A and B are shown apart, each in its own frame.
Chain A
Amino acid sequence: MTGTGNVVTPLPFPTAARRELGDQQLRHNLRKATHTIRDKRLRVVGEVSDWEQLRVAGAAIKDDVLARLPDLLEQFEAAATAAGATVHWARDAGEACAVVAGLVRATGTAEVVKVKSMATQEIGLNEALEAVGIQAVETDLAELIVQLADDTPSHILVPAIHYNRSQIRDIFASRMLGVDASSLTDDPPALAEAARRHLRSRFLSTKVGISGANFAIASSGTLAVVESEGNGRMCLTLPETLISVVGIEKLLPSFADLEVFLQLLPRSSTGERMNPYTSLWTGVTPGDGPQTVHIVLVDNGRTDTLADEVGRQALRCIRCSACLNVCPVYERVGGHAYGSVYPGPIGAILSPQMSGEGANRTLPYASTLCGACFDACPVRIDIPQVLVHLRQRGVDDSRGRPSAERTAMRTMSYVMRDRRRYAAALRTARRGAAPLRLVAGRRGALRRVPWPLSAWTSVRDAPLPPKQTFREWWTREHSS
């Protein structure tokens, strides 16, 4: 099923990236945060002598899941149902939102508490609920910051990574009801305390909780949520009704498989040996936790992704965000430039596969192919390989018409094979570029050039040729 909702990028990556690159504060915040987390991750991963074996096992377990997905889905449904949960299915974002909205309305409540979940962001659940008069309160600190700021998340794990502590303080001071703005400092414990007080009464009284799940165990129908603050435990334990929105690729065959993933995930995501809280529940437990439990299994572009032999490895992703934190492109442009809820390297391969709509086809170019993401990925997704594959698929899609990109590449290779041809071409290019320099301005790059070269600039800028080549400069400097 072709994905819809917040996986569709509204703007081409180069356009969005240019806007973000102009924000110096953003670049500073991102650099600081990504470097902090990189160092922590390396330290705790270095402690684990069998890390590579765990990665190999993690990748294989997920490949096994993808190979047996139909059976495992049916097994999960049967086990969860037997344990007292009701299982629903949704083909795309709209269907998933409609199912959840219907379930919430049936309870008669107008407010729900939410645990941070990529799946609900992906389907645009908050907006859909708001449209039918239901307020969804985000309870994860970073989600709360983003929600109060009327902003969108910019990172899978830390949606407010683009804000520093004093910006967060200002958002709380101006937007959080009941906060004492005059005494609120930008000390992180003070900010955490403000969030605690803000949400406490809601946790204790709200009737419906909404979550995602990090893992779904096929053999037992169990769901797992991995978190830090305890807001997850609150939403999973105190409400009367719990609705969990789960992508169909989240399955693991058996409970024992958690022994691999609960080692891989925390060290890769927050750089901790273990996250503070992990909750697991299986349907309904009489007398303990929600007595009405719903699970919504969502496709939204996953089966399309599964159909691509090279690209399907993106479905192994456990959303740890390690690939974002090591990516030189992400570090500079941040998450918003990618448009989709899945930013960074994983977003560059996942969003265009889940949906071919919007500007998604520009995303596979949002990378330098440096390979840092593959090294960091706990389930060994070869992101550079998939990027190149998707670029190739993009070129192949336009076969039939003369592919300008292919023609350009062939001509380029002919010119570059001979030094004299190359030098002559450079001189011609410079002459041709002189008027373009006026258009390009100080940035020295062209955003759009006419066909056939537009095939290149539709997804990237074209730098202008320099005024002189290195060879020319060397000859001149050393002849006098």
Chain B
Amino acid sequence: MSTPPDARTEILRRVRAAQPAAPVDVPRDYAADDGPAGLALVDLLVDRLEDYKATVRRCAAADLPAILAASLTDVPSVALPPGVPAAWLSLYGGEIARDSGDGLTVADLDAPGVAVVTGCAVAVAQTGTLILDAGPDQGRRLLTLVPDHHVCVVRVDQIVERLPAALRRLADPTRPLTMISGPSATSDIELNRVEGVHGPRRLDVVIVA
């Protein structure tokens, strides 16, 4: 069954009939722009991520493979989006499964001990939010959803202070977007935040200078 006959016409007619005539000016004097970027921004992001129980490591670009290998010592298999550089995992000893060609299945990703390593599009320091926009180093949405462990690499130049600046950085907002602030959690039991429900229960963030 599709739209009942005339529903569209009648709703639009009723909206037009009820429509307030006066146009509305939207005052936008909230803070839209960021302050200067710098070390304080990184510290703020780290603070906010840790507040939501993510594990954060910081390193120089040259040390990324070693840091990732250290984060993944207890992980037998890593899923990788098509665009993550192979060099990132050059020191990792386990099995690597690329999501290319036919792609990984839900069952592949749901197997015990699978972690996923991705990049991100932009990170918001003020709220501890990582934004993924399905870019080549982030891949399809299920990659960061089904595995129980997500390792996300953030470059310092991807960090902004506030959400407005972050949304403006996105190349194409019609790509599937996922905003992640800490591991999966619920506030449904007595309104206290409890980490770990359906999404990845472990979120590691590596901030690369």
Contact surface of A with B, Cβ cutoff 8 Å: 1, 29, 32-34, 36-37, 40, 49-50, 53-54, 56-57, 60-61, 63-64, 66-70, 73-74, 83, 86, 88-91, 95, 98-99, 101-103, 139-142, 145, 158, 160-161, 164-165, 168, 188-189, 191-193, 195-196, 199-200, 203-204, 220-222, 228-231, 233-234, 237-238, 248, 255-256, 258-260, 262-263, 266, 270, 272-283, 285, 287-289, 297, 299, 303-304, 306-307, 309, 312
Contacts and interface: CB of A to CB of B under 8 A. Distances in A.
A276 B179 CA distance: 8
A73 B15 CA distance: 10
B198 A199 contact: yes
B1 interface: yes
Contact of B106 (A90, A204, A289): A204
B194 A192 contact: yes
Contacts of A304: 18
B2 interface: yes
B23 interface: yes
Interface string B26-59: 1111111000000000000000100010000000
26 contacts: A36-B192, A53-B29, A67-B22, A89-B4, A90-B4, A91-B11, A99-B2, A160-B188, A188-B192, A191-B189, A193-B196, A196-B196, A204-B110, A222-B173, A229-B188, A234-B145, A255-B173, A256-B167, A260-B30, A273-B126, A276-B180, A276-B199, A277-B180, A288-B142, A303-B17, A306-B19
A contacts with B: majority SS: helix
B176 A285 contact: yes
Contact of A196 (B22, B27, B198): B198
The 9 A-B pairs at the shortest CB distance, nearest first, are namely: A230-B199, A102-B1, A230-B198, A229-B197, A307-B18, A303-B14, A274-B127, A142-B188, A259-B164
A229 B193 CA distance: 10
Contacts of A54: 30
B145 A280 contact: no
A349 B24 CA distance: 23
Given A49-B31, A299-B11, A141 B192 contact: no
Given A1-B10, A140-B188, 11 more contacts: A61-B26, A237-B145, A259-B167, A273-B127, A274-B124, A274-B181, A276-B181, A279-B176, A282-B174, A289-B140, A289-B141
A139 B142 CA distance: 17
B25 interface: yes
A273 B48 contact: yes
Contacts of A233: 141, 145, 178, 198-199
A228 B8 contact: no
B74 interface: no
Contacts of A50: 29-31
Contacts of A103: 1
Given A32-B190, A228-B186, A276-B182, A91 B23 contact: no
A228 B145 CA distance: 13
A81 to B, nearest CB: 12
Contacts of B168: 256
B173 A36 contact: no
A275 B4 contact: no
A4 to B, nearest CB: 14
Contacts of B18: 303-304, 306-307, 312
Nearest to B20: A67
Chain B contact-residue range equals: 35 or more
B27 A60 contact: yes
Q: Among the interface residues A86, A95, A102, A259, which one has the most CB atoms of the partner chain B within 10 A?
A: A259
B119 interface: no
A89 B1 contact: no
A287 B102 CA distance: 10
A235 to B, nearest CB: 10
B128 A273 contact: yes
Contact of B14 (A83, A230, A299): A299
B38 to A, nearest CB: 19
B118 interface: no
B190 A188 contact: yes
A192 B4 contact: no
A229 B126 contact: no
Given A191-B189, A228-B187, A70 B177 contact: no
A383 to B, nearest CB: 19
A99 B2 CA distance: 6
A164 to B, nearest CB: 6
B197 to A, nearest CB: 4
A57 B32 CA distance: 12
Contact of A66 (B20, B163, B181): B20
B1 to A, nearest CB: 3
A89 B198 contact: no
Interface in B142-190: 142, 145-146, 163-164, 167-168, 173-190
Contact of B11 (A53, A191, A248, A275): A248
B190 A64 contact: no
B127 A192 contact: no
B103 interface: yes
Q: Among the interface residues B106, B173, B182, which one has the most CB atoms of the partner chain A within 10 A?
A: B173
A274 B128 CA distance: 8
A192 B187 contact: no
